[in-house]
Amino acid sequence: AGSGAVQLILAGYTLTYACLLITAARLGDRYGYRRLFVLGTVVFTAGSAAAACAPDAAFLIAARLVQGAGSGLVAPQVLSIIQVTVPAARRPRALGLFGATMGVASLAGPLIGGLLVGSDPFGLGWRSVFLVTVPVALVSLAGATVLPRTRGAAGQRVDGVGVSLTTVGFGALVLPLALGGETGWPWWTWTALAGSAAVLGCFALTLPHRPDPLVHPSLFRDRRARAGVLLVFVFNTGVPSFTYLLFLHLQSALGYPALTAALTSAPFAAAAVLGSRGAPA
């Protein structure tokens, strides 16, 4: 696969994950958090199995889109269940444990992936990275049977216009950025970027005029919320890009084995775990 396809394999997951994140939270409020958790886990499992069987890069990209959609359905349900079922006094500790779990996952994921690719079990190669998530997802489905049947406030509708605009806008942004350098930036890449700016601008301008907006404009009137969004934006703009380029350089340019390259992320992930556990309540 070329560099553009590799970027889409990584970015495609993030794209569908991000586009479904807020929508899935609203769907959980409407139809129940456990139901959406189960649905998302099933979708993620199907995407993982399809990725493991991918015959070419295009099929793998499509499977990664499905995986991202499944994760996007699951993630907000976890936080919503914590919010609804855990008493307010114990909620900071529960969220800290959730953050620590994410830190452990970010530490274990690259290490397990590097170990699987390096050991090549049953001759599966990189496919084992996707297959190993299937039994984990099945265990999650079994555990979902003990989750409480909870949902949020009734009467909230899904902002279909907002979902459509953000999906098209971010898709038109990611595709040319991933393929532009490899294809020499043809005319369609610039057209897509201009279209992305127009669509996302339309989303922002029409946000205050929709009855149930995807993101409530009042959120940005809070100075602390604005600061938090800015910090998350800066973090997620820099860290994943740096990690991707670092791993690519270590393996492609320096010839490091997958496991050795993965070990470079261990200090960062360990610090994330400690930071989550040490966060003030």
| Domain segments of the chain as ranges | 3-148+212-278
* Residue that wins the pLDDT comparison between 281 and 194: 194
- Average pLDDT score over the chain: 85
Token output for 98: 């959730």
Task: Quick: pLDDT tens for 34-53.
Answer: 999 999 999 999 999 999 99
Superfamily of segment(s) 3-148+212-278? MFS general substrate transporter like domains (1.20.1250.20)
pLDDT at 45: 95
What per-residue confidence (pLDDT) applies to 229?
A: 86
Residue range 137-157, pLDDT digits in tens: 999 999 888 888 877 665 567
d(CA 125, CA 108): 18
Phi-psi region of 71 (alpha: psi -120 to 50; beta: other; left: phi over 0): alpha
pLDDT at 1: 58
CB 167 within 8 A of CB 22: no
Percent of the chain with pLDDT over 70: 94
Q: Which tens digit of pLDDT belongs to each residue from 102-133?
A: 777 777 787 888 888 888 888 888 899 999 99
CA dihedral 72, 97, 221, 226 (to 10 degrees): -80
Give the side-chain half-sphere CA count within 13 A for 79: 13
Helices 3-31, 223-248: crossing angle, 10 deg rounding: 150
pLDDT digits (tens, 9 = 90+) for 163-207: 889 889 988 988 888 788 778 899 999 999 999 999 999 998 988
